[in-house]
A and B are shown apart, each in its own frame.
Chain A
Amino acid sequence: EAPQTAAAPTGTAGQQIVQTPTGTAGPTCTLSQFGGEKFDLKSATVGFSQSEKEANPFRIAETKSIKDEAAKLGIANLKVTNAQSQFSKQITDVQQLIAQGAKLLVIAPLNSDGWEPVLQQAASKKVPIITVDRKINAKACTDYLTFIGSDFYEQGKRAADKMIEALGGKGKVAILLGAPGNNVTTERTNGFKDRLKEKAPGVTISFEQTGEFAREKGQQVTEQLIQSNPDINGIYAENDEMALGAVTALKGAGKQPGDIKIVSIDGTRSAVQAIVDGWLHSVIESNPRFGPLAFETAKKFLDGEGIADKVIISDREYDQANAKDSLGEAY
């Protein structure tokens, strides 16, 4: 595990970079192992199942990246569905994509568990599935092809590192949790807590309430929090929206930038701007631009190359040092 602090190489404008280069780590999967047949990506029906409304920067960037890349590659028949945050609907969406003859599926799962029916159907038709952003709890290469995305647990740990750094190893921290029942929430929380326990017992968590990944909720919870716990030193927000809501709350309470250290995850433009303005201490990136990597993986797979069981991207982080310069690359 290597903490990544590198800013993106110039010229790639926020492109994802792979942390574990394909072929070096873990078992790989080839077309013959998978059992499928080669087909021409350009003329095939490709399905993309988005999980949530394209209403936040992450999802917008994610869907756009897939569509743009498909267009760039000349994939004429890209079918996009959106489950509107309803898991049952996503299952049905994917099944209907399969029924429409999709030869390749790119899925941004709403949830890691519960994919049994889809996986069975895809496996029987030998449709390779690439899941992006979130994992599916199943066997790579048999049930699905591979996973491309960040390591949420790792993000939580890195956020903890940043928090420890900001507080100098001592202080009281509040957590703005994501939506309950979400794998992302769970992993980002666990990573954060484990790391604190391990590295900085002096930092205690005195408050954790859900902000449901939404700005307004983040604002409201923070308002209550700073009222009843005025001695709080840091806030860990599990996404940028809640962090920005917290900033509004702090402003409203007459706090100055930096009074309370805020660390969050995602790397949206507004959040990076807030670092520049001094309100956020740092942001761990979670890069949504899966298009190029997903289709590159698919092409390699179809060309017979071995594909790793997971493709973990290296997320950057933003802080005072690089925020201003990286503003253009944030999504």
Chain B
Amino acid sequence: MTRWIRDYGVYAAVLALLVFNVLFTPHFLDVANFRTQLVQVTPIVIVSLGMALVIGTKGIDLSVGSVMALAAALTALYLGYGAAVAIVVALIGGAVAGAAGGVLVSYVGIQPIVATLALLVGVRGLANVLVPQLVEFRNPDLIALGSNALFGVPLIVIIAAVLTLLLAFLVRRTTFGRQVVAIGGNRAASELSGLPVKRVLVLVYVISGVLAALAGVLATARLQASDPTSLGMFIELSAITAVVVGGTPLSGGRIRVASTVMGALLMQLLSATLIKHNLPQSWTQMVQAVIILAAVYLTRERGKR
């Protein structure tokens, strides 16, 4: 039972919140509403996927929000060459930022939280240097990416779903995934077992960077404007919360992909519920605090005293 709560608590919580909303929130059952929730949660889901990988190695990536901003800036700068080019450049930017974090963590040996904190400050600044203010765009391809749907499902939601599957595959079925988990479980042992620890670490941060950049591109496409100043502000906290609420421990050595997505959905539904019921900001924050604590308490590692 307790084990069940630990493993499926997030699902139960999401379900409970859904039931509450169906009962008490007008128009909640509209298809359009579900679309809205999924579309809004997409950037957090994508960022959380990378975050889960990083946390699996016992690390943390605070720079994701700033990397989103950088991606937004690069997208705006290169949109003149077409949407595809702009997106590729943005993703490369994310990869470079991620690699910087990864190198600081693995080769230089700086603690992840500090290394990525420096990036959080610096990369956001860089994004602002590149694009000092919000820039609107009219590129039809990019706007289509943000607003089109396939069989009624928004493109960006499909992208997030595919990425989730990909990451689940990566974690469960590939050598790389196993190595990530092993490194998080015991780095010294992994090193002595001949795992390419440093390379894997860099790659993990690169993946996190690329995913954050992609989230930035999609958010930009949806906003129809590039806004490096405020895009992705504090998203690292939401992503970490999603990962942890999903039952991936901050102490590393375990990654739960599907539950991470559920964790993100939980936080999204929660904030949607509070907004729809028009509660003041103060309430929203206090309720969020309580729910986070409750969720993490229920899904915590047991048996260790």
Footprint of B on A, CB under 8 Å? 53-57, 60, 180, 206-210, 212, 214-217, 219-221, 223-225, 227-228, 230, 241, 244-245, 248, 251-253, 270
Q: Which residues of A contact B134 (CB under 8 A)?
A: 55-57, 215, 241
Q: Which residues of B contact A60 (CB under 8 A)?
A: 132-133
- B133 contacts which of A55, A223, A230 (Cβ < 8 Å)? A55
The residue in chain B whose Cβ has the minimal distance to the Cβ of A205 is: B278
Q: Which of B229-265 contact A (CB under 8 A)?
A: 229-231
Complex: A217 Cα to B227 Cα, angstroms: 12
Distance to closest chain A CB from B125 (angstroms): 10
In the complex, B190 has a CB within 8 A of chain A = no
B278 touches A227 (CB 8 A): no
Distance to closest chain B CB from A205 (angstroms): 10
B224 touches A227 (CB 8 A): no
- A55 contacts which of B224, B229, B272 (Cβ < 8 Å)? B229
The residue in chain B whose Cβ has the minimal distance to the Cβ of A206 is: B278
Distance to closest chain A CB from B39 (angstroms): 8
Q: Which residues of B contact A221 (CB under 8 A)?
A: 275
Complex: A285 Cα to B121 Cα, angstroms: 33
Complex: A228 Cα to B275 Cα, angstroms: 10
Distance to closest chain A CB from B141 (angstroms): 17
- A56 contacts which of B27, B147, B229 (Cβ < 8 Å)? B229
B281 touches A216 (CB 8 A): no
The residue in chain A whose Cβ has the minimal distance to the Cβ of B220 is: A216
A210 touches B281 (CB 8 A): yes
B36 touches A215 (CB 8 A): no
A57 touches B133 (CB 8 A): yes
Distance to closest chain B CB from A237 (angstroms): 15
In the complex, B191 has a CB within 8 A of chain A = no
In the complex, B219 has a CB within 8 A of chain A = yes
**Size bracket of the B interface:** 20 to 34
B223 touches A219 (CB 8 A): yes
Q: Which residues of A contact B33 (CB under 8 A)?
A: 227-228
The verdict on A215 contacting B223 (CB below 8 Å), with A56-B133, A60-B133 known, is: yes
The residue in chain B whose Cβ has the minimal distance to the Cβ of A252 is: B147
Our count of residue pairs bridging A and B at CB distance below 8 angstroms stands at 77
Q: Binary interface profile of B, 111-144, with partner A (CB < 8 Å = 1, else 0)?
A: 0000000000000000010001110100000000
Q: Which of B1-29 contact A (CB under 8 A)?
A: 25-28
Complex: A244 Cα to B133 Cα, angstroms: 15
Distance to closest chain A CB from B174 (angstroms): 35
In the complex, B199 has a CB within 8 A of chain A = no
Question: Could you list some 10 contacts between A and B, CB below 8 A?
Answer: A53-B128, A53-B229, A54-B132, A54-B133, A215-B223, A216-B231, A221-B275, A223-B36, A251-B147, A253-B32
Complex: A91 Cα to B28 Cα, angstroms: 47
- What are the 9 closest A-B residue pairs judged by CB atoms, nearest first? A55-B229, A228-B276, A214-B230, A224-B275, A227-B33, A223-B36, A180-B281, A55-B133, A207-B278
A270 touches B32 (CB 8 A): no
Most central of A60, A209, A217, A270 by chain B CB within 10 Å: A209
The residue in chain A whose Cβ has the minimal distance to the Cβ of B223 is: A216
Q: Which residues of A contact B25 (CB under 8 A)?
A: 228
In the complex, B40 has a CB within 8 A of chain A = yes
The verdict on A227 contacting B229 (CB below 8 Å), with A180-B281, A215-B134, A248-B224 known, is: no
Q: Which residues of A contact B228 (CB under 8 A)?
A: 55
In the complex, B96 has a CB within 8 A of chain A = no
Q: Which residues of B contact A210 (CB under 8 A)?
A: 281
Distance to closest chain B CB from A284 (angstroms): 20
Complex: A210 Cα to B281 Cα, angstroms: 7
Distance to closest chain B CB from A271 (angstroms): 11
In the complex, B291 has a CB within 8 A of chain A = no
Q: Which residues of B contact A244 (CB under 8 A)?
A: 225
Q: Which residues of B contact A217 (CB under 8 A)?
A: 230
- A227 contacts which of B128, B132, B276 (Cβ < 8 Å)? B276
Distance to closest chain A CB from B269 (angstroms): 11
Distance to closest chain A CB from B137 (angstroms): 12
Distance to closest chain B CB from A254 (angstroms): 9
The verdict on A227 contacting B281 (CB below 8 Å), with A56-B133, A215-B134, A219-B223 known, is: no
A228 touches B26 (CB 8 A): yes
Q: Which residues of A contact B219 (CB under 8 A)?
A: 216
Complex: A221 Cα to B222 Cα, angstroms: 14
Distance to closest chain B CB from A193 (angstroms): 15
Q: Which residues of B contact A54 (CB under 8 A)?
A: 132-133
Distance to closest chain A CB from B109 (angstroms): 30
Q: Which residues of A contact B133 (CB under 8 A)?
A: 54-57, 60
Complex: A212 Cα to B281 Cα, angstroms: 11
Q: Which residues of B contact A252 (CB under 8 A)?
A: 147, 222
Distance to closest chain B CB from A80 (angstroms): 15
Q: Which residues of B contact A253 (CB under 8 A)?
A: 32
Distance to closest chain A CB from B90 (angstroms): 17
Q: Binary interface profile of B, 264-305, with partner A (CB < 8 Å = 1, else 0)?
A: 000000001001101001000000000000000000000000
A227 touches B27 (CB 8 A): yes
Distance to closest chain B CB from A56 (angstroms): 6
The residue in chain B whose Cβ has the minimal distance to the Cβ of A209 is: B275
The verdict on A55 contacting B128 (CB below 8 Å), with A215-B134, A221-B275, A245-B223 known, is: yes
Q: Which residues of B contact A209 (CB under 8 A)?
A: 275, 278, 281
Q: Which residues of B contact A55 (CB under 8 A)?
A: 128, 132-134, 228-230
Given contacts A206-B278, A220-B40, A248-B223, 4 further A-B contacts (CB under 8 A): A55-B132, A55-B230, A215-B227, A228-B27
Distance to closest chain A CB from B147 (angstroms): 6
